[in-house]
Structure 1
Amino acid sequence: MKELSKYNIDIYGLEDKQYDYDMESGDAFFQELDQDLIEHGHFKTHVVLNKSATMIQLNFHTQGIVTLICDRSLEPFEEPIDSNERIILKFGDHNEELTEEIEIINRNTTRINVARYLFDFIALSLPFKKIHPDLRTQEETDDEDETEGILVYSSEDTAETESEGEEKIDPRWEALKKLKGNN
């Protein structure tokens, strides 16, 4: 918990104005949190806190590098992160998360810990597919090949093509149409 205590911001007694905080951390931050997504990394965050009588607005600018495991080759690689995110904390009678960006905190709260927000913003800035940079160009060419596929099914009316006489009807279908007509 010592590592995460660096992310405490005392809000009790702050005047209604803007405050700037710079935070930096590495592997200890990710190891302290109970998560399996990121094990290693290094980042710097600049937090701008705007306090007013009814709310606190926090703007996070995070830059750094995290080590991820490639989904395809299972080799570790470094992924750069650069995120700009915002969270609004409104004062109220209880703690409640209203939306992804707005939370209500008890007006008697004296300190907030922004470590959870930082990790969430870092995790959201990661790519959905964790592909090693050496394999990314290969994946892009694979995706292009898939778009030029063969049409297997079409919802167009087949009666139009039959009347044009371009295609002959399979004799097996003709036999089935005769059976259908006898009912």
Structure 2
Amino acid sequence: MSKLEFNIVEIPEGESRRTVALSDEDLDLSPHTFVGGQVEILFYRTLHFIRVNFHVSSDIELTCDRSLEPYIQPIESDYEVVFKVDVKEEKEDENGAVRRFNFSSNSLSIEDEVRDTIFLNVPVKKLHPKFIDDEGKPKDFETKSFGDTEEDDDDSEIVDPRWKKLKELKN
């Protein structure tokens, strides 16, 4: 049984809260490395449904796209899952999900939802914090030149001899 799987009989009627600390072994975020985190869970249980709201605060190790250096990216997100018995079709969007629930199993799991919530908040451009300015925007690349460079102002007049031959053929 994972840390994010709960027995229904242990969830009291009405509103209750739990905090679950996650270690690096509790979630598989391949190809990224899960460093650890915390999930704050708010349960609301009735006879007909169980609503689970959770807030994830976690750290994952990413590789910078610019420098290929590893760095730790903090991730925070909220999500809601409603488990119902009489659901004909499960629904899901960016804010929450409605799942079918079988009370005879006596347990519910939010592990997939927590993992997916973290995945959805991984930045598309993975930049090490040293490449981000105070406003949160990426810093410009520094342009460096190595070796001798010649400054030619006559570049516009130099024409490749192959182009000259092609132009002659056209005429």
User: Which TM-score band applies after superposition, normalised by the shorter structure?
Assistant: 0.5 to 0.7
TM-score (norm 2): 0.68
Which residue, 105, 118, 124 being the options, matches 2:120?
Answer: 124
Q: Given the alignment, which residue of 131, 134, 140 partners 2:130?
A: 134
Deviating runs (4+, > 3 A) in structure 1?
12-15, 137-142
TM-score by length of 1: 0.64
| Structure exhibiting the larger radius of gyration computed from Cα positions | 1
Question: 5+ residue gaps in structure 1?
Answer: 143-183
| Alignment counterpart, residue 77 of structure 2, candidates 55, 74, 83 | 83
RMSD: 2.6
Output aligned runs, 1:88-99, within 5 Å: 88-92=82-86, 97-99=90-92
| TM-aligned CA deviation for residue 123 of structure 1 | 1.3
Aligned-residue offset at 1:69: 1.2
Q: Distance in 2 between matches of 1:124 and 1:60?
A: 15
> What's the % identity of the aligned pairs?
24
Alpha-carbon distance between aligned partners in 1 of 2:71 and 2:35, rounded to the nearest angstrom: 11
Q: Secondary structure at the match of 1:9?
A: strand
Give the partner amino acid of 2:65.
D
**Which residue pairs with 2:21 in the alignment?**
24
- Contact between 2:2 and 2:26, CA under 8 Å: does it hold in 1? no
Alignment gaps of 5+ in structure 2? 141-171
The answer on whether the counterparts of 2:131 and 2:139 sit within 8 Å (CA) in structure 1 is no
Query: Against the structure 1 CA distance between its residues 22 and 132, is the aligned structure 2 distance closer, same or farther, given a 3 Å change threshold?
Result: same
**Contact persistence 1:92–1:106 (CA under 8 A):** no
1:99-127 CA deviation, whole Å, 9 max, x = no partner? 23211222323101222111111112221
Partner of 1:47: 41
Structure 2 counterpart of 1:117, one-letter code: E
Report what 1:179 is aligned to: none
Distance in 1, matches of 2:64 and 2:78, equals 25
CA distance in 2, matches of 1:13, 1:40: 28
Question: For 1:42 and 1:141, how far apart are their aligned partners in 2?
Answer: 29
**1:98–1:104 Cα contact (<8 Å) kept:** no
Aligned residues: 136
Q: What's the counterpart of residue 113 of structure 1?
A: 109
User: 2:6 — aligned with what?
Assistant: 9
Cα deviation, 1:111-156, whole Å, max 9, x if unaligned, reads 01222111111112221221111123496355xxxxxxxxxxxxxx
| Alignment partner, residue 30 of structure 2 | 36
Q: Is the 8 A contact 1:62 1:83 kept in 2?
A: yes
Distance (whole Å) between structure 1 residues aligned to residue 125 and residue 47 of structure 2: 42
> Which amino acid counterpart does residue 103 of structure 1 have in structure 2?
R
What one-letter code is carried by the residue in structure 2 that aligns with 1:45? V
Counterpart-to-counterpart distance in 2, 1:126 and 1:102: 24
Higher mean displacement: 131-140 or 58-67: 131-140
